[in-house]
Amino acid sequence: MSVFDFDKLTDRRGTLSLKWDVAEHELPMWVADMDFETAPCITRALQKRLDEKIFGYMILPDAWYEAYQGWWEKHHGFSVQKEWLIFTTGVIPAISTAVRKFTTPAERIIVQTPVYNMFFNSIVNNGRRILENPLRFVDGEYSMDFEDLEEKMKDPQTTMMILCNPANPVGKIWDRESLEKVGELAKKHHVLVFSDEIHCDLTAPGKGYVPFASVSDICRDNSITAVAPTKTFGIPGLQSAAVIVPEEGLRQRMNRALNTDEVAEPGSFAVDAAVAGFSEEGWQWLCEARSYIEENKQYVIEALGRQVPGIQCISQDATYLMWLDVSAYTKDSEALARAIQKETGLFLSAGQIYGGDGNTHLRLNVACSRERVADGVSRLVAYFSRQKAQDAVE
Ligand X SMILES: Cc1ncc(COP(=O)(O)O)c(C=O)c1O
Which residue number, 187 or 199, has a Cβ lying nearer to ligand X?
Answer: 199
98-117 residues in contact with ligand X (CB under 6 A) are 116
- Measured from the CB atom, the residue of 2 and 125 that comes closer to ligand X is 125
CA 199 to chain centre: 4
Among 182, 168, 173, which Cα is nearest to 203's? 173
Q: State yes or no: residue 228 binds ligand X (CB under 6 A).
A: yes
How far from 241 is each of 31, 102, 113, 138, 302, CA to CA, in Å? 19, 20, 24, 34, 36
Question: Least distance to ligand X from the beta carbon of 95, Å?
Answer: 8
How many residues lie near ligand X (CB under 6 A)?
Answer: 14
**Region of 191-199, 242-250, 337-345, 347-355 interacting with ligand X (CB under 6 A):** 191-199
Determine if 268 is a binding residue for ligand X (CB under 6 A).
Answer: no
Among 27, 32, 170, 368, binds ligand X (CB under 6 A): 32
Backbone dihedral angles phi then psi of residue 185, each to the nearest 5 degrees: -65, -40
Distances (CA, A) of 288 to 3, 4, 5, 35, 381: 9, 8, 10, 15, 28
Nearer residue to ligand X within complex by CB, 226 or 336: 226
For ligand X, the closer of residues 78 and 194 by Cβ is: 194
Burial (CB count within 10 angstroms: exposed 0-12, middle 13-18, buried 19+), residue 272: buried
Please tell me whether residue 35 binds ligand X under the rule CB under 6 A. Answer: no
Residues 128-147 that bind ligand X (CB under 6 A): none
91 binds ligand X (CB under 6 A): yes
- DSSP code for 291: H
- Interface with ligand X, residue 29, by CB under 6 A: no
The residue range among 60-68, 90-98, 136-144, 245-253 that interacts with ligand X, by the rule CB under 6 A, is 90-98
230: contact with ligand X by CB under 6 A: yes
Inter-residue contact 168 to 32 (CB < 8 Å): yes
C-alpha span between 79 and 81 (Å, rounded): 6
DSSP state of 203: B
Out of 35, 107, 196, 325, which residue is the one contacting ligand X (CB under 6 A)? 196
The 3-state DSSP class for residue 111 equals: strand
168 lies in the site for ligand X, by CB under 6 A: yes
Half-sphere exposure of 153 (CA within 13 A, CB side): 23
Binding of residue 27 to ligand X (CB under 6 A):
no
201 scored as a contact of ligand X (CB under 6 A): no
Binding residues for ligand X, rule: CB under 6 A, are 32, 90-92, 116, 164, 168, 196, 198-199, 228, 230, 236, 241
